[in-house]
Chain A
Amino acid sequence: MVANSGRIGTVTSPRGDDGSGRITVHGLTKRFGPVSAVEDLTFAVERGTVTGFLGPNGSGKTTTLRMLLGLVAPTAGEARINGLRFGELPHPARVVGAVLEAQGFHPARSARAHLAACAAAIRVPDAAVGHVLTAVGLDTAAGRPVGGFSLGMAQRLALATALLGDPQVLVLDEPANGLDPEGIAWLRAFVRGFAAQGRTVLVSSHALAEVEQTVDHVVVINRGRCVHQGPLARLRGRPRVLVACPDPARLAEALTKAGLGEIESRRDGRLAVTGADPARVGDVALAAGVAVHGLEAERVDLEQLYFGLTAGAR
């Protein structure tokens, strides 16, 4: 999108930045006095994927991301990006861009001036400022003091700042905060596109529903500890289709013949077909001449699962 797009995936530094786009967190622990914010956290994020970092309020998400970015010193353990600790990256902003909670702007400085100061620090041409402003839809407000920005506009500016170095890795802490529905939809598409280019995204949220459509993997933490990690699909389980049908027995027979044998009768009289999609079930029913009164892809209630995992939050 900005400069240097050709750099992705290549070894960029003689100092050992391996260009892998990997985030690794190992045994990461942080105590603030008596408060244990993060406890022995270990996970990895691979390039080309979007990983959701989920947990209720106060579970340690922000603290973890700030340790990853060298802003908070871990009590124990370490976090690496491209094989290096943040402090060892020779050009950090060109490797990782971040949108963090409570990341501020000088109220009297314009968006453009803020980005220009950052562009100088990370040594990208000033033209990149215009590019990122356009990318986040802030062109018209670019000259105004940031103090007058709405929450969503400030969030867009934070994202523009993160993108300025055309980074390989994006770290987003509750990025949807304050965004309008259009902004959220745009952000989702952007994040997916970013990962599709072989880059890495780690995005935190306290609500699974918020990132459900975006993420491939999830790391769920509660009270600073990891309670689940893996592909989203594993959290969700396999998809099921619920069919309402006046003659369930015949439909079940037809489905079994068609290779969709994992059928369950539900108390409401409907059949639950595991590992199928509605179109396929409909086709089979039509071919067998069985009437179908209702066909529904089951929404596994991830929220319920998530609540189970994060029960007992502070």
Chain B
Amino acid sequence: MIAALLRSELRKTRSTKLWWGLLVPVALLTLLVNLFGGVFTLALGAGPDAEDRLPLLLASLAYSLALAATFSGVYGAISAAGEFRHRTITTTYLTAPGRGPVLVAKLLVAAGVGAVYALVTAVVGAFGGLVGQESTQFPETGALLGVVAIGAGVCALWGALGAALGTALGNQVTVLVLLLVYVLLGEPLLSLLLTANDSPAVAGISAYLPVNAGEVALYDVPARVLVGPADGAELLGLAAGVSGPPSWWGGLLVLAGWAAVTGALAGVVGGRRDIT
């Protein structure tokens, strides 16, 4: 049942330009970020003063993957809400055994597109790093694959989260504005407010917001490799703009929780919506 709907959603995805229209800026940004890996060093504030060469590519790659995650969310949101904009949702519901399976198929396909964004980012990023970061050391395979795999997870979760939000809101403009304003403005501000709080418990909440949770997952491995396990958490907190971050898998779990909550909301709201 889900397999048939998955095939259908994949065919819908492949027959429009949205997925690669968003993939182009992802690839370009990734190339830029990794060619000039120094961007990330600047973002960290003072560069590490060790004289031995550091695998900075891990960090710039993680940063690119965070960007790809945002684009994954945008893809999910636009594609899911697009069904309402173009009124194709009527046909979609008429050809499916229930709205729940449709939602599941949509979330899975958006997650798949997110994972593809992450893999393209990894390939383009590694290429950019090889070409542009001569002064740095190419990272160990294990750490590199780890960052890529975590990135695929983060992008997949953001794809699903975006699609869930698009289904719940049912309006392309609304969902796009809401998503971008939150990711680019809302959550950074909220994090600033939270981390400025004296109580570590309140400040710690910052790590459990969706964007931050994804960044925690992404920057955990690079931070440890760059400054060692002992200071890794501190650097991670700096990089993700949170205090008291969990480890990468904790971040992934938190993000998965947000995706699940949004998915459930989409199930309830989308399941009841009158399609007139």
Contacts and interface: CB of A to CB of B under 8 A. Distances in A.
A57 B87 CA distance: 21
A140 to B, nearest CB: 19
Interface stretch (B52-60, B88-96, B189-197, B217-225): B88-96
Interface string B55-78: 000000000000000000000000
A97 to B, nearest CB: 8
A103 B94 CA distance: 11
A109 B15 contact: yes
B75 to A, nearest CB: 15
Main secondary structure of the interface of A (DSSP, over half): loop
A87 interface: yes
Nearest to B90: A103
A91 B5 CA distance: 12
A269 interface: no
A72 B17 contact: no
Given A71-B274, A71-B275, A104-B87, A117 B93 contact: no
Given A92-B95, A118-B91, A161-B91, A123 B4 contact: yes
Nearest to B18: A108
A92 B272 contact: no
A106 B82 CA distance: 8
B276 A63 contact: yes
A120 B91 contact: no
Contacts of A149: none
Interface string A187-225: 000000000000000000000000000000000000000
B97 A120 contact: no
Contact of B16 (A91, A93, A106): A106
Contact of A92 (B17, B88, B96, B275): B96
Contacts, number: 88
Given A90-B97, A92-B94, A121-B92, A106 B11 contact: no
A73 interface: yes
A121 B3 CA distance: 9
A71 B90 CA distance: 7
A121 B5 contact: yes
A89 B8 contact: no
Interface of A: 62-63, 66, 69-73, 87, 89-93, 98, 100, 102-110, 113-114, 116-118, 120-123, 161, 164-165
Contacts of B97: 89-92
A93 B274 CA distance: 19
A121 B4 contact: yes
Given A107-B86, A118-B95, A73 B15 contact: no
A205 to B, nearest CB: 19
A66 B274 CA distance: 9
Nearest to B6: A120
B98 interface: yes
19 contacts: A70-B93, A71-B275, A72-B275, A73-B272, A89-B97, A91-B97, A100-B90, A103-B87, A104-B90, A106-B12, A108-B16, A114-B15, A117-B8, A117-B9, A117-B12, A118-B95, A120-B4, A121-B4, A122-B4
Nearest to B11: A117
A106 B12 CA distance: 9
